[in-house]
Chain A
């Protein structure tokens, strides 16, 4: 497959990657100093990754990364949709601290030759991490640019060796009733489930992210491991993934069950296909005043349009 990258912004306008990374460093240094001072005898305890800790992505820049300026870390971590912690945008940042992210296992099962229960640490050891700066377009009409750290989902899928029957991939996310106040409201059919066609899941743009902004993923952004599919509306990128199941038939996602006339399986970003209740032609980039035009497949048409050749995207919304 020929993979092209759009030249979005003149290089003169690009914020140096080091600048925003360093911006966080001193906060982190201060945090570590505080932990060090407080920890004392606890230093012998096994070290586990926590939100805010530095995470090492390979030094190589990904050709898939956009040169657009990332959204501020504060906005990206305080304006979230994670209904398990409440339906307000601010609720996840307030409540997600309770999410238990260690120990964490990721079950890979279903139509595969090598099903496996991965400990998240083993995954981190096995997979090579890379930074991917992606646009993120929410179905509600706003967008961000987020520097993720993760690995290609395709790498994990190849490890599992799907059988000939595997046509779709279902993602089941964390269900922790004691830690997730939002589960008390039957807003969706819990646990939150999403799905992709196998070729979408194998696409090199599709990643499992474990960090962002050079740090371990904050809980409200889907710690410890989440899906990122940049050409689809944000809700397709499930957070805190617990199970990946390979199946023969198209999975029913939580949003499809909740409102089938509004949310389809594909949910590709498409400015020409409106949500029944609002337009999808424009979006507000968080941090900007004027709206901008929404791009076909969120600007990733060159890479992914071929996945949908011959399909009626109005019908398969």
Chain B
């Protein structure tokens, strides 16, 4: 299994770089259309969302299939979401706004879709920063897990960012929203089941105690 997972990891690592490679080749060949900056912004943005959703797929997929090795891909997938988010952010700051700080501050404060996007990006930073095994140990599993639940907020914020940006045809953001709803819905379902199971266990406990006392 160890060798196989190493291969799978390597394959995912290379595959996840393909969108960037496509952009780089397109930019170099002048094949990104009439508005290349917009094309880069769009592409890095949608790939951020895609990697976020792919990362959120790991847990439900693992539960459905029993493939526990999927868990070993999660960190890399999450970091790729962050990687494309950074590219998206750099595209905005450098190519789109050209470091016009005043205009950017105005954007973040005045424009809800940028507020949503910027907030989501900021929330991703601590997740990326605490992604190493050393940080998991340092924080302790419980705290680390609690912190990384932020990814749900990031997903919601990211989809809202896309939805509010679109002028009229909301088909594409709606697809991302639908997938996110399913993925978060599954988690609610798991949570409900688990708490039901604990409740049953608790109900049994006093009965057990009673038997023991007798």
Contact = CB atoms under 8 A, between A and B. Distances in A.
Nearest to A290: B98
A78 B34 contact: yes
Interface string B160-202: 0000110111010000000000000000000000000000000
B112 A188 contact: no
Contact of B33 (A76, A89, A258): A89
Contacts of B97: 291
Contacts of B33: 78-79, 89-90
Nearest to A262: B167
Interface string A63-100: 00000000000111011000100010110000000000
Contacts of B107: 278-279
Interface size classification for chain B: 20 to 34
B35 to A, nearest CB: 6
A259 interface: yes
B168 A286 contact: no
Contacts of A185: 169, 171
A188 B95 CA distance: 32
A79 B35 contact: yes
B168 A277 contact: no
Contacts of B113: 277
B108 to A, nearest CB: 12
Interface in A277-317: 277-279, 281-282, 284, 286-287, 289-291
A307 to B, nearest CB: 27
A281 B100 CA distance: 12
The majority secondary structure among interface residues of chain A is: loop
Contacts of B122: none
Nearest to A76: B34
A74 B110 CA distance: 35
Contacts of A284: 35, 37
Interface in B50-107: 95, 97-98, 103, 106-107
Contacts of B38: 142
A140 B34 contact: no
A187 interface: yes
B107 to A, nearest CB: 7
A292 to B, nearest CB: 11
Contacts of A258: 168
A229 B111 CA distance: 28
Contact of A286 (B35, B110, B165, B167): B35
A166 to B, nearest CB: 31
A277 B103 contact: no
Given A83-B169, A185-B169, A282-B103, A277 B34 contact: no
Interface string A236-263: 0000000000000000000000110000
A289 B168 CA distance: 27
Given A277-B111, A279-B106, A281-B103, A259 B35 contact: no
B34 A291 contact: no
B181 to A, nearest CB: 21
A135 to B, nearest CB: 16
B24 to A, nearest CB: 17
A185 B53 CA distance: 26
A66 to B, nearest CB: 19
Contacts of A83: 168-169
A286 B168 CA distance: 22
A87 B112 contact: no
Given A277-B112, A277-B113, A279-B103, A142 B171 contact: no
Nearest to B169: A87
A173 to B, nearest CB: 16
A87 to B, nearest CB: 4
19 contacts: A75-B34, A78-B33, A79-B33, A79-B34, A83-B169, A87-B171, A89-B35, A142-B35, A185-B169, A187-B169, A188-B168, A259-B168, A277-B111, A277-B113, A278-B107, A279-B106, A287-B34, A290-B98, A291-B97
Interface of B: 33-35, 37-38, 95, 97-98, 103, 106-107, 110-113, 164-165, 167-169, 171
